[in-house]
Structure 1
Amino acid sequence: MNIRRSAAALAAATVVLGAAVPAVAATPSPTPSVAIPDGLYGTTDPTYDGVWRQSLALLAQRTTGVTPADRAVAWLAGQQCASGAFAAFRADTAKPCDAKLMVDTNSTAAAVQALAALGGHQAATEKAVSWLKSVQNTDGGWGYTPGGASDANSTSVVAGAMAAAGEKTSEVRKGGKSSYDALLKLSIPCDQAGDGAFAYQPDKKGALAANADATAAGVLGVLGKGFVTTAGKVREEVFTCAGSAAPLTPDELARNGSVYLADAIGEDGHLESALPGAEDQPDYGNTADAVVALAAQGATEQAKTALSWLEQNSAGWAKQSGPAAYAQLIFAAHAMGADPRHFGGADLVAQLDATGPTPQATAKATDQAADADADADKKDDSDSGYGVWWIVGVFLVAGIGIGFLISVRGRKRQP
């Protein structure tokens, strides 16, 4: 999920195209206007995306077998309001949430996905899920804020949260409608311009315009998938739009969206930015999201070109955009069965880890090295002779090197 097509996002989207930001939040400033809290990933202003980027970072770490630092997890859990909702960022968590604080579905749903994956936060996730259910619209979808018109991105990230929390998305209903019903209304029939795509929202006249970002989200939403997914079964049928005969099944809607994404990616291997007035340029974040969506639907062959393009071209974007961008790339690699530790010559996991508190797994390795140093000092005090010290030193260095290799190689990627 990246820069959404809302007025607020468009007005502020001047930093880095494709950076992962919630639906209507402004792009975070590269110069923080508030102090970066201890435990938070990234160095940019967290006002609009603190919970979002922290959630994606922790979820990506969990997906790759990394145990995040306790204070990083505590920071995210501490952002929750008593109602169960999350805002984009609370600078003072000692102050209760009030009516002036804008809580939103995107931050809440992202936090649910992360906390559910981390485990040990059942009470928090249950409260968050209850709040999300309470603000579901009667068309079955969700808007960015409570009471806002349903949009494809918000509806899909909430559907992913419901699935992560063990809910059946088809049974989470308001007015008899589920997230599928809301997304169906936002899908474009095969015989119209943008065939198979999802729109973010209808325009003032009710018309639907194809949106690649909303389409990537919509594919996951109708499949009941979250940010993290594995490749679906490769489809044998012809990879074409499923037609306009109603009612389309969730699988058919997902296939239609995948056909649109594959066509939009084309031979270039990436999506283009769609911001009004901006020159066309690669949209890295949406391309990563498209890879996840295509893989989830079973269109892995169509996703290979985009994944390869990301491996070759995304390093600069990820470095500039920060933790959420690294997380998006990790999700794309994971969905395709690729190794995020060897992604175009880069270790995405190590790069993500470096944007925040040292994970527990790394901290343990450091502690082991420190213990080895202490043991060597004791040995030096008790032994005499240059030969003995030299032998101890050689084995110490070798031990630290082996321990480091074991630590790095031992972080197994989650299935």
Structure 2
Amino acid sequence: MPTTARTGAAALAAAALLIGAAGPALADTTPSPAAAPAALYGKGDPTYDGVWRQSLALTALGSAKVVPAASAVAWLTGQQCADGGWPSYRADAATACDPKTEDSNATAMAIQALTLLGGHQDAVTRGTAWLRTVQNADGSWAFNPGNPGDANSTGLAVNALLATGTDPVGVAKGGKTAYDGLALFQIGCLAPAAERGAFAYQPAPDGSLKANDLASAQALLAAAGGKLPVTNTNRVDAAPKPLDCTVNTPTVARANSAEAAGSYLYTQLSGNGQHLLQTTPGAAATPDYTGTAWAVLGLVQSGHPVQAAPAADWLADHGYDWAAKGKNGTDPAAAALLLLTAEAAQLDPYDFGGTNVVQLLIDAGPAPESVPAAAASASSPAPHNSAADDDSGFSPVWLVGIGLLIGIGGGLLLSLRRKRAAAQHPGSPSSGGTDKSGGTDKSEGDGQK
């Protein structure tokens, strides 16, 4: 049951919001975010992730047998550029794309979504052809074409190829296949034992590779021959095999790639309470929900659902706030990953740690065309222990705090009215005869990647 403090905190936040509305706005030079179109999942600024999150949402809902709104699918197909690629987002679909803004990650995810939904073969074919044209000479893919490749983008491109039934071995530049490109980023036997099998995001300037957990998690799905949604039911009862370094080779053979990456990630998950960590220089490590979800998907795809299960359970227990309580409400990409994780791990997406993640995602976008019977009869998206279920009262401490904030807000409002009156009547006693300033309201902007 939520504490009184949690409810009181919400009330204080509401009081602060009222005060902010009454008082003068502070100067803010942050550009206003782009408004999310009605057909898009999520309310946050879509500038950097519009196509990505729409594609993830449609993939997850499609895997749950939800038929999405036609407007949501039309928005995604309408974002495609004339040459077949997708940008991260374009506000005006009638304006021709700038090729420099086209994004291999968004394209790869859109291809998987539209392939799953069916009925969009032309868009899928053109998108796949575009991926072929922007493959680097070493077999890899970059986020934006023309840049050095990276493990995440290469892995996602491989996922898209597999989704369309295209063998990545047959997609090559200069004799280097898509799998050759992926292998460039995997750490072999010359590295310390703790890093072997992991993927680096990109090589360092000196060519060395440093283990990156998110890159390892996203690349694992591709190395294991997977795509979204993950539906693999193969099972290997033993844990993933670590890289065999009886012979110290700098590269990892294709046949050993998924097992080696899976072993690295399984070790990381086991050592960190069944989740991955993300580190920022100068700050304490924090849980990496995204990386953990991709690790579960990759482990299941590589035949290790038993080893993936504890991490899936951790996401079920801790993922609600991450997916549902962002600054813009529900994060559709996060909710979609939770749904995909639940289904890959063969857990109930309608009761994933007490959260109905199917409904959570449905509520983040336009009303679907239809939902399966299980969705229609399921409970609300909030978990059983969410703040929404809290009916406890306020403690006197919280009530005093609210009263103080309201009092301060009233004082600010009174002061503002006096200043406005003084500006209109410079000779009045409150003006001092000199105040001619005016307040300008500016909306507070934010950006989202």
State the TM-score, normalized to the length of structure 2.
0.72
Matched, 1:269 2:271: no
Residue 181 of structure 1: aligned partner: 180
CA distance in 2, matches of 1:201, 1:111: 24
Rounded to whole Å, the distance in 2 between the matches of 1:32 and 1:328 is 28
Q: Which residue of 1 aligns with 2:91?
A: 91
Counterpart in the other structure of 1:254: 258
Following superposition, the deviation at residue 78 of structure 1 comes to 0.3
Alignment partner of 1:305 is 2:310: yes
Closer, same or farther in 2 for the Cα pair 1:300/1:37, shift >3 Å? same
> Matches of 1:213 and 1:275 in 2, distance apart?
14
Contact 1:159/1:179 (8 A) holds in 2: yes
CA offsets 1:98-155 (integer angstroms, 9 cap, x no match): 35x5111011111101111111100011111111100101111101111111110000
Match for residue 234 of structure 1?
A: 235
2:319 maps to 314
Aligned to 2:170: 171
Match of 1:64 in 2: 64
Contact 1:169-1:224 within 8 A present in 2 as well: no
Partner residue, 1:12: none
Q: After TM superposition, list the pairs within 5 Å mapping 1:277-296 onto structure 2.
A: 277-296=282-301
- Measure, in 1, the Cα distance between the counterparts of 2:236 and 2:32: 47
Using the TM superposition, give the Cα deviation of residue 273 of structure 1 relative to its aligned residue in structure 2, in angstroms: 1.1
| Amino acid aligned to 1:343 | F
Cα offset for 1:35? 1.9
CA, structure 1 residues 405+202, in 2 after alignment: closer, same or farther (shift >3 Å)? closer
1:277 Cα shift?
2.5
Where do 1:29-44 residues align within 5 Å? 33-44=33-44
Distance in 2 (CA, whole Å) between partners of 1:327 and 1:115 is 15
**Distance (whole Å) between structure 1 residues aligned to residue 232 and residue 125 of structure 2:** 28
Structure 1 position 318, deviation (Å): 0.7
Q: How far off is 1:347 after superposition?
A: 0.6
How far apart are 1:350 and its partner, in Å? Answer: 0.2
How many Å apart are 1:320 and its aligned residue?
Answer: 2.9
Q: How many residues align?
A: 339
Q: C-alpha displacement at 1:259, in angstroms?
A: 0.6
Aligned-residue offset at 1:361: 0.9
Shift of residue 53, structure 1, vs aligned partner:
0.2
Aligned to 2:110: 111
Supply the distance in 2 between the matched residues of 1:406 and 1:44 (Cα, whole angstroms): 25
**Match in the other structure for 1:48:** 48
1:77-106 superposed Cα distances (whole Å, 9 cap, x missing partner): 00001000110001001112235x511101
Q: Deviations over 1:166-197 (max 9, x none)?
A: 21111111111112112222111145221110
Instruction: State the Cα deviation string for residues 287-346 of structure 1 (Å, max 9, x = none).
Output: 111111111111222111111111111110111341000111111111111121110011
CA distance in 1, matches of 2:233, 2:79: 34
Q: What CA distance in whole angstroms lies between the structure 1 residues aligned with 2:121 and 2:318?
A: 39
How far 1:213 sits from its partner (Å)? 0.5
Q: After alignment, is 313-322 or 226-235 more displaced?
A: 226-235
Q: Are the structure 2 counterparts of residues 406 and 336 from structure 1 closer, same or farther at C-alpha, using a change threshold of 3 Å?
A: closer
State yes or no: 1:152 paired with 2:151. Answer: yes
Q: Which has the larger radius of gyration?
A: 2
Q: Please give the residue correspondences for 1:185-224 in structure 2 after superposition, counting only pairs within 5 Å.
A: 185-190=184-189, 192-193=191-192, 194-224=195-225
Q: CA deviation at 1:230?
A: 2.4
In structure 2, the CA distance between the partners of 1:94 and 1:239, relative to structure 1 (3 Å rule), is closer
Cα deviation digits, residues 204-241 of structure 1 (max 9, x gap): 00010001101111111222312321245222566431
CA distance in 1, matches of 2:357, 2:189: 38
Instruction: Give the direction of change, closer, same or farther, for the CA distance of 1:297–1:33 in structure 2 (3 Å limit).
Output: same
Report what 2:339 is aligned to: 330
Which residue type is aligned with residue 60 of structure 2?
A
CA distance in 1, matches of 2:255, 2:62: 28
Amino acid aligned to 1:210: A
Whole-angstrom distance in 1 between the partners of 2:114 and 2:335: 19
Task: Check the 8 A contact 2:158/2:168 in 1, yes or no.
Answer: yes
Contact 1:191 1:243 in 2 (8 A): no
Equivalent pair of 2:160/2:227 in contact (CA under 8 Å): yes
Q: In the alignment, is the contact (CA less than 8 A) between 2:196 and 2:243 conserved in 1?
A: no
Normalised by the size of structure 1, how large is the TM-score?
0.78
Q: Distance in 2 between matches of 1:238 and 1:281?
A: 26
Provide Cα deviations, 1:24-81, integer angstroms capped at 9, x if missing partner.
Answer: xxxxxx9961122120000000000000000000000000000000000000000001
Higher mean displacement: 266-275 or 127-136: 266-275
Q: Is the 8 A contact 1:104 1:146 kept in 2?
A: yes
Counterpart of 2:360 in structure 1 is 351
Aligned-residue sequence identity (percent) comes to 41
Query: Kindly tell me: are residues 120 and 132 of structure 1, through their superposed partners in 2, closer, same or farther at Cα, counting changes over 3 Å?
Result: same
CA distance in 2, matches of 1:189, 1:208: 9
